[in-house]
Amino acid sequence: MAFLELHILQNVAPANLNRDDTGNPKDAMFGGVRRARISSQALKRAMRLALRDALPPGELSTRTKRVSELVADRLAEHPRTESLVAASRLFEAAGIVVGDTKKGDAETKYLILLGDDEADALAALAREHWDALTAAKPDLGAMRGPARAALRSSAVDLALFGRMVADLPEVGVDGACSVAHAISTHRLAAEFDYFTALDELARAEETGAAMIESTGFNSATFYRYLAIDLGELEQRVGAERLKTALPAIIRAAVLALPTGKQHAFAAHNPPSFVLAVVRDGAPVSLANAFVAPVRQTEQRDLVRASVDALVAYRDSVAAMYGDADVRTTAAVALGEIELGSLEANRVPTLDALVASVAAAA
């Protein structure tokens, strides 16, 4: 059982990448002080979207209530209305409730992550049993077994992040990837941007702003962490597909960020430091390196202070528990950042880090 850990330090310029219900950036208490936060859900979605551009069609999944439409799209040789009926009845046969297609409501009650391969399999099943599925009174009981059998996906992102289907727990998937909420390595300093807008067609007697608003933002050095159970992932997607997909997965994990309010802030800041560890034992988060929030000094900015704290904590954990289970360690950082005990594991580029991990996985 091998795990891949990724530890990432990323300094983000003023931004509001991930909002709470008030529209302000999310935060959390850690180490007794308030920290900036990016939720794991937002990070996983950013990874999934990045993988769409990196992996070929058919390797991924789609999260939607309109699963019947995904299947109907593959039945273009038939009338659209009949295709939706056939697809919806297959989901109902499997045990997933779908709205009334005749009323234009072909949606499930909740979002479902449906693999491209599952949509293909259900479409093939619909063709095979077309007359029975489109009959006035179909025997859905006879279709239960085949429909459930079709709901078995090896989509890469579904294998990574898993899914839950409330009506049909047996097709649920425990994801191979665990993603932590990103937290700032230092105390949060929340800020607000007060702004106004003018009506460009305002009359001369109309003075002042036509709109007055404010938005929250912050700037933070985030510690991001995720762990992937490589054995579990290989079981789900196969050894060859894992070999092909793993470089794209690592790049997506490192480079993808949520896009909240990026048109207003343009915080396009790549990570300053990435540490990858492949080990045979249980994964180890280094978040506790920042229980005491780091502080900048005249000699060290927040990024360098964060790297120093992470490396020191990692060394302490290795000293206490040992690191005999570690297959490989690779670190990459901006050139001026010193890595202390990790200098021996330093590689020059992200591509070199990816290659090192792929060779050890």
Residues 228, 141 share a domain:
no
d(CA 84, CA 69): 6
d(CA 283, CA 312): 18
What's residue 347's pLDDT?
Answer: 97
What's residue 101's pLDDT?
Answer: 60
d(CA 3, CA 15): 32
d(CA 360, CA 148): 37
Residues 78, 8 share a domain:
no
Helix axes 239-255, 40-54, angle to 10 degrees: 120
Contacts of 51 (CB under 8 A, 6+ apart): 60, 156, 157, 248, 249, 252
For residue 42, how far is the Cα from the chain centroid? 6
pTM confidence score: 0.92
Output DSSP code: residue 108.
B
Taking residue 317's Cβ as centre, other Cβ atoms within 10 Å add up to 16
**347 inside domain:** yes
What's residue 137's pLDDT?
Answer: 86
Residues 333, 201 share a domain:
yes
Residues 244, 126 share a domain:
no
Reported residue count of the chain is 361
Residues 72, 39 share a domain:
no
Residues 200, 70 share a domain:
no
Residue where a domain stops, chosen among 93, 119, 154: 154
What's residue 147's pLDDT?
Answer: 94
Residues 110, 48 share a domain:
no
Residues 36, 68 share a domain:
no
182: enclosing H helix or E strand = strand 182-184
Strand 112-115 and strand 61-64: the pairing is: antiparallel
What's residue 210's pLDDT?
Answer: 84
Angle at 20 between CA 266 and CA 50, to 5 degrees: 50
**261 inside domain:** yes
Residues 339, 192 share a domain:
yes
**49 inside domain:** yes
Residues 295, 187 share a domain:
yes
- 173: helix, strand or coil: strand
Residue 295: closest CA among 31, 88, 97, 27: 31
Helical H segments across the chain, by residue range = 40-54, 67-72, 80-94, 116-128, 130-133, 144-150, 156-161, 230-237, 239-255, 262-265, 302-321, 350-360
Using CB atoms within 10 A of its CB, is residue 102 exposed (0-12), middle (13-18) or buried (19+)?
exposed
What's residue 329's pLDDT?
Answer: 97
**165 inside domain:** no
Encode 283-292: b = buried (16+ Cβ within 10 Å), e = exposed.
Answer: bbebbebbee
Residues 192, 137 share a domain:
no
d(CA 205, CA 220): 44
Q: What are the pLDDT tens digits along the chain (361 aa)?
A: 799 999 999 999 999 999 999 889 999 999 999 999 999 999 999 999 999 989 988 889 999 999 999 999 999 999 998 999 999 999 999 999 887 766 556 789 899 999 999 999 999 999 999 998 998 888 888 899 999 999 999 999 999 999 999 889 999 999 999 999 999 999 999 899 888 888 888 888 888 888 888 889 999 999 999 999 999 999 999 999 999 999 999 999 999 999 999 999 999 999 999 999 999 999 999 999 999 999 999 889 999 999 999 999 999 999 999 999 999 999 999 989 999 999 999 999 999 999 999 998 8
**162 inside domain:** no
What's residue 202's pLDDT?
Answer: 84
**168 inside domain:** no
> The domain containing residue 356 runs over which residues?
3-54+177-360
**82 inside domain:** yes
Spatial contact of 290 and 31, defined as CB atoms under 8 Å apart? yes
Report the number of distinct structural domains present in the chain: 2
27: enclosing H helix or E strand = strand 27-30
**170 inside domain:** no
d(CA 90, CA 96): 9
For residue 101, how far is the Cα from the chain centroid? 32
Residues 318, 202 share a domain:
yes
What's residue 324's pLDDT?
Answer: 94
